[in-house]
Copies of this chain bind each other. A is one copy, B any other.
Amino acid sequence: MTTDQHNDSLDPAAKKTVLRWFTYGMYVVTTRDGEETGAFTANWLSQASFDPPLVMVSVEKDSHSLPIIRSSQVFTVNVLESGQRRLAGHFGKKAAKVGDKLADIEHYQTGSGLPVLNDALGYVVCRVTDEMDAGDSVVVLGEVVEAVVHREEGDPLTMAEAGFRHSG
């Protein structure tokens, strides 16, 4: 009874409205373990600490990439640029449906072999330090161990600009 009580008082429409006011950027997260690569569009992502520099990202439990992040313990965050809505849409598709999303997108490999997008403003490489179960997802925490700027000038792509919705 006590457990269900709060759900009874939650107005689903209000919940959706408020959560959709949250502001997000759009990033392509990539990972690699041996021959296996993963790449997906993420928006539930934020810095989490200055010292050490940590990044947190919520990754869907049923995603292709989560097991790869877990086995390799490393991921990259590529910051998309304003205007790159198509890229965000491309990497937002399910790998199970479309196969290797990196196949037809220009990318190269970091020194440590991780795929990164040529067209991103820049990227960070994060080494996983912890994770936390979060409902249908897992919050992965990673320390920034490498950072590369492709272009100094440029505005990041925001969820608001892209007009996508992934919240509520």
Q: Hey, which bits of chain A sit against chain B, CB under 8 A? A: 6-7, 9-11, 14-15, 17-19, 21-27, 43-56, 58, 77, 79, 121-124, 127, 130-137, 139, 141, 143-149, 152, 156, 158-160, 167-168
A144-B44 Cα distance, complex, nearest whole Å: 16
A82-B17 Cα distance, complex, nearest whole Å: 16
Whether the pair B58, A122 counts as a contact (CB closer than 8 A) is no
Copies of this chain per assembly: 2
The 8 Å CB contact of A18, one of B19, B24, B149, B159, is: B149
A157-B159 Cα distance, complex, nearest whole Å: 14
The 8 Å CB contact of A21, one of B25, B46, B48, B130, is: B25
Whether the pair B132, A23 counts as a contact (CB closer than 8 A) is no
CB neighbours of A131 from chain B (8 A): 132
Whether the pair A14, B149 counts as a contact (CB closer than 8 A) is yes
- Closest chain B CB from A136 CB (angstroms): 5
Whether the pair A122, B18 counts as a contact (CB closer than 8 A) is yes
| Nearest B residue to A52, CB-CB | B135
| Nearest B residue to A159, CB-CB | B23
